[in-house]
Amino acid sequence: MKQYNLKAEKRQLSFGELTVIALGERGRGRYENLVPFQGDITEKDFVIPTPTKSNKVKVIGGGDNIGWVARISCKGCYTRGTIGQASVHNKDVGNVTVLASGNGAEGDAGRIGWWADYLLQIADDTLIRVKQHGGYKIPAYYLFFAKDRVYKISGEEFPIWLDSHDYNFNEENVSEYFTKIKTTHDH
């Protein structure tokens, strides 16, 4: 699978150093999920999500160019009472699998606002809507996972994009056309 936004980092754990994709944040009202990542993968390499011994997921090199493994973070800006989440167009609901997720939050107790951080398996030709936390300060944008690349489409350009693609949409009733992507843990 092709990769989108997979930024791995080295983490020192009690048993040694491990290369991971860190989803979310650690702390109260937050959930950090460390996904093992084969350390020698470059941005151009294909990847495969595969189960670990504990039935979680890890990302290794290999596979082909069909579909995507993508990290989508809905982190935006501090604004009381806002939630950052991604959703998939109802036409494409079967094209997205949540491999892992985490979440970040604002405030000492993590109760002021929060955002989801996803690791997804996405089929080619799938439309995702990303609403970062931050309320009216940050407009939603769209990601279209085509066969050859990912298009990031601003909310302003989205109506123009819609005219040339087979999707229904009405900005005034987003939930009628998009289904929220659930996290793998309770928030």
Helix residue ranges, H only, 107-147 = none
Distance CA 184, CA 187 (A): 9
Q: In the chain, where are the structural domains located? A: 2-180
Average predicted confidence (pLDDT) for the chain: 91
- Check pLDDT > 80 for residue 158: yes
CB 44 within 8 A of CB 13: no
pLDDT tens for 45-67 read 999 999 999 999 999 999 999 99
Q: Which residue has better confidence, 136 or 68?
A: 68
Q: Which of 87-101, 144-158, 168-182 has the lowest mean pLDDT?
A: 168-182
* CA–CA separation, 23 and 162 (whole Å): 31
Task: Please state, in angstroms and as integers, the Cα–Cα distance from residue 99 to each residue in 76, 83, 122, following that order.
Answer: 22, 21, 10
- 187 pLDDT above the threshold of 60: no
78 — pLDDT class (breaks 50, 70, 90): confident
Question: In angstroms, rounded to a whole number, what is the distance separating the alpha carbons of residues 87 and 172?
Answer: 16
Question: Is residue 186 predicted with pLDDT exceeding 70?
Answer: no
